[in-house]
Amino acid sequence: MDKQNLNRLEAAKYIGVSPSWLDKDFAKGKFSTFPCIKLGGRRIYQRNQLDRIMEMLSFGGRK
Protein backbone atom coordinates (compact mmCIF):
# COMPACT_ATOMS: atom_id res chain seq x y z
CA MET A 1 0.00 0.00 0.00
CA ASP A 2 1.77 3.12 -1.16
CA LYS A 3 -0.92 5.74 -0.83
CA GLN A 4 -0.98 8.10 2.15
CA ASN A 5 -4.75 8.47 2.65
CA LEU A 6 -6.70 5.32 3.42
CA ASN A 7 -10.42 4.73 3.59
CA ARG A 8 -12.00 2.86 6.48
CA LEU A 9 -11.56 -0.63 4.95
CA GLU A 10 -7.97 0.01 3.89
CA ALA A 11 -7.07 1.47 7.29
CA ALA A 12 -8.56 -1.50 9.14
CA LYS A 13 -6.62 -3.93 6.97
CA TYR A 14 -3.43 -1.87 7.32
CA ILE A 15 -3.47 -1.96 11.15
CA GLY A 16 -4.82 -5.52 11.35
CA VAL A 17 -8.29 -4.98 12.81
CA SER A 18 -11.79 -5.47 11.48
CA PRO A 19 -13.69 -2.54 9.99
CA SER A 20 -16.29 -2.90 12.76
CA TRP A 21 -13.55 -2.50 15.41
CA LEU A 22 -12.44 0.69 13.68
CA ASP A 23 -16.10 1.86 13.67
CA LYS A 24 -16.32 1.27 17.43
CA ASP A 25 -13.10 3.21 17.94
CA PHE A 26 -14.45 6.10 15.83
CA ALA A 27 -17.63 6.15 17.95
CA LYS A 28 -15.51 7.16 20.97
CA GLY A 29 -15.29 10.63 19.42
CA LYS A 30 -12.40 12.73 20.64
CA PHE A 31 -11.16 9.78 22.72
CA SER A 32 -10.69 7.48 19.72
CA THR A 33 -7.29 5.85 19.32
CA PHE A 34 -7.01 6.40 15.58
CA PRO A 35 -7.85 9.94 14.39
CA CYS A 36 -9.33 10.48 10.96
CA ILE A 37 -10.53 13.24 8.68
CA LYS A 38 -14.24 13.33 7.91
CA LEU A 39 -15.05 14.14 4.26
CA GLY A 40 -18.76 14.03 3.63
CA GLY A 41 -19.84 10.59 4.78
CA ARG A 42 -16.35 9.12 4.48
CA ARG A 43 -13.57 8.80 7.01
CA ILE A 44 -10.01 9.19 5.76
CA TYR A 45 -7.10 7.85 7.81
CA GLN A 46 -3.54 9.02 7.20
CA ARG A 47 -1.05 6.19 7.00
CA ASN A 48 1.74 8.10 8.76
CA GLN A 49 -0.56 8.74 11.74
CA LEU A 50 -1.55 5.08 11.87
CA ASP A 51 2.14 4.11 11.83
CA ARG A 52 2.98 6.55 14.62
CA ILE A 53 0.13 5.37 16.85
CA MET A 54 0.89 1.69 16.26
CA GLU A 55 4.51 2.33 17.18
CA MET A 56 3.48 4.10 20.40
CA LEU A 57 1.09 1.27 21.30
CA SER A 58 3.71 -1.41 20.66
CA PHE A 59 6.13 0.32 23.05
CA GLY A 60 3.53 0.98 25.73
CA GLY A 61 3.41 4.68 24.91
CA ARG A 62 7.14 5.21 25.45
CA LYS A 63 9.61 6.48 22.87
pLDDT at 60: 65
pLDDT at 58: 84
pLDDT at 42: 93
pLDDT at 16: 94
Q: 47-50, long-range: CB within 8 Å, 24+ apart, which pairs?
A: 47/1, 47/3, 47/4, 47/5, 47/6, 47/14, 48/4, 50/6, 50/11, 50/14, 50/15
**26 part of a folded domain:** yes
**9 part of a folded domain:** yes
**19 part of a folded domain:** yes
Each residue's pLDDT tens digit, 20-61? 999 999 999 888 889 999 999 999 999 999 999 999 888 765
Q: Tell me how many domains the chain contains.
A: 1
pLDDT at 61: 55
**63 part of a folded domain:** no
pLDDT at 17: 95
Domain that holds residue 29: 5-58
